[in-house]
Amino acid sequence: MEKLTHWKKLQNPLYLGSYDFQPSEERIVTVKDVKREMVKGQEGTEEHTIVYFTDNYKPMIMNATNSKMLTKLAESPYVEKWIGTSFKLVVVKIKAFGEFMDALRIKSEKVVKLLPELVLDSPNFVKVKEAIKSGKFTIEQVESKYKLSNEVKEAINE
């Protein structure tokens, strides 16, 4: 299949959009962080909720529809609880501003990603323990990347 380039992609936007997807493409992503940021648009600068992904994708500006769906999938309205949630992103046709257009949407099915297990005294364990002690990472952020046994959790906190 021929790879197609949407004209909006040539403008090199900073945020993920429907134009970043090939026809019928779906992407599985995992939330790394959620922030409020000022975003410059065609009509000035506005504050928006931005979701960052653990995967190598651009961040995504959240609208109300996608925020409600992520709340459902994460089983929490609190953005801190969204971290580590995996889901599928798809492009759908919607009617907005009197015309039909492509929009990025979160599918209503939760995706369970199998996380690698963090092994006691492994090189990654040592790095994780140092990162938590230094305050660079929280245990919640680590749990979004690794499966942690109770033994490993206790050893991290020692």
Q: What is the pLDDT of residues 89-141, one digit of tens each?
A: 999 999 988 999 899 999 998 787 667 888 888 888 999 999 989 999 888 88
Tokens of 107: 């599918």
- Give CA torsion, residues 32, 154, 151, 126, to 10 deg: 60
Give the pLDDT of residue 79: 94
Among residues of the chain, what percentage have pLDDT more than 90? 47
Instruction: Report d(CA 22, CA 11) in Å as an integer.
Output: 17
Please report, for the chain, the start and end positions of each structural domain, with discontinuous segments joined by +. 7-111, 123-156
Mean pLDDT of 80-97: 92
Give the pLDDT of residue 10: 63
Q: What is this structure's pTM?
A: 0.67
Q: Which is higher by pLDDT, 50 or 39?
A: 50
Tokens of 135: 């305050």
Sequence letter at residue 116? P
Instruction: Report d(CA 158, CA 146) in Å as an integer.
Output: 18
Q: Are 87 and 71 in contact (CB under 8 A)?
A: no
